[in-house]
Amino acid sequence: MRFEYSPAPESRAVVTLRDSYGLFIGGAFVPGSSVFKTISPASEEVLAEVTHAGPEDVDRAVAAARQAYERTWSAMPGRERGKYLFRIARLIQERSRELAVLETMDNGKPIRESRDVDVPLAAAHFFYHAGWADKLGYAGFGPSPRPLGVVGQVIPWNFPLLMLAWKVAPALACGNTVVLKPAETTPLTALLFAEICQQADLPPGVVNIVTGDGATGQALVAHPGIDKVAFTGSTEVGKEIARACAVSGKRLTLELGGKAANVVFDDAPVDQAVEGIVNGIFFNQGHVCCAGSRLLVQESVYDEVLAALRRRMGTLRLGDPLDKNTDVGAINSRAQLDKISELVSSGEAEGASRWSAPCPLPDRGFWFAPTVFTEVSQAHRIAREEIFGPVLSVLTFRTPAEAVEKANNTPYGLSAGVWTEKGSLILWMASRLRAGVVWANTFNRFDPSSPFGGYKESGFGREGGRHGLEAYLDATGNADV
Among the options 103, 113, 184, 255, which is catalytic?
Answer: 255
Q: Which of 129, 167, 181, 259 binds ligand TAP (CB under 6 A)?
A: 181
Q: Which of 255, 320, 327, 385 binds ligand TAP (CB under 6 A)?
A: 255
SS3 content of the chain, % helix, strand, coil (to 5): 40, 20, 40
Please give the angle made by the CA atoms of 31, 34 and 39, to the nearest 5 degrees: 100
Residue 1: CB minimum distance to ligand TAP, A: 37
Residue 390: CB minimum distance to ligand TAP, A: 14
- E strands in 198-352: 207-209, 228-232, 251-255, 261-264, 294-298
Burial of 79 (0-12, 13-18, 19+ CB in 10 A): exposed
Instruction: Rule CB under 6 A: say whether 257 interacts with ligand TAP.
Output: yes
Q: Which of 218, 285, 298, 444 binds ligand TAP (CB under 6 A)?
A: 218
Q: Which of 221, 261, 313, 395 binds ligand TAP (CB under 6 A)?
A: 221
Residue 319: CB minimum distance to ligand TAP, A: 24
- Interface stretch with ligand TAP, choices 57-65, 71-79, 144-152, 226-234 (CB under 6 A): 226-234
Instruction: Rule CB under 6 A: say whether 157 interacts with ligand TAP.
Output: yes
Instruction: Rule CB under 6 A: say whether 295 interacts with ligand TAP.
Output: no
Residue 289 vs 301, nearer CB to ligand TAP:
289
Residue 289 vs 429, nearer CB to ligand TAP:
289
295 close to 264: Cβ distance less than 8 angstroms:
yes
Residue 86 vs 460, nearer CB to ligand TAP:
460
Write down the H helix ranges in 246-377: 270-282, 302-313, 334-349
56 is catalytic: no
Binding-site size for ligand TAP (CB under 6 A) equals 29
In angstroms, the CA 65 to CA 73 distance is: 10
Instruction: Rule CB under 6 A: say whether 234 interacts with ligand TAP.
Output: yes
- Interface stretch with ligand TAP, choices 15-23, 126-134, 141-149, 209-217 (CB under 6 A): 209-217
Among the options 113, 289, 385, 386, which is catalytic?
Answer: 289
* 126: Cβ contacts below 8 Å, ≥ 6 apart: 85, 86, 88, 89, 92, 165, 169
Amino acid at the residue 57: D
One character per residue 431-460, x = contact with ligand TAP (rule: CB under 6 A) = -----------------------x----x-
103 is catalytic: no
Q: Which of 213, 266, 275, 375 binds ligand TAP (CB under 6 A)?
A: 213
Amino acid at the residue 301: V
In angstroms, the CA 230 to CA 176 distance is: 12
Name the strand (E) or helix (H) holding 43.
none
Residue 118 vs 184, nearer CB to ligand TAP:
184
Interhelix angle for 96-107 vs 78-94, to 10°? 70
Q: Kindly identify the residues of this chain, within the stretch 368-427, that bind ligand TAP according to CB under 6 A.
A: 386, 388, 414
* Residues written for the chain: 481
In angstroms, the CA 289 to CA 456 distance is: 14
Q: What are phi and psi of 187, to 5 degrees?
A: -90, -10
Catalytic residues: 255, 289
Residues that bind ligand TAP (CB under 6 A): 154-158, 181, 183-184, 213-214, 217-218, 221, 232-234, 237, 240-241, 255-258, 289, 386, 388, 414, 454, 459
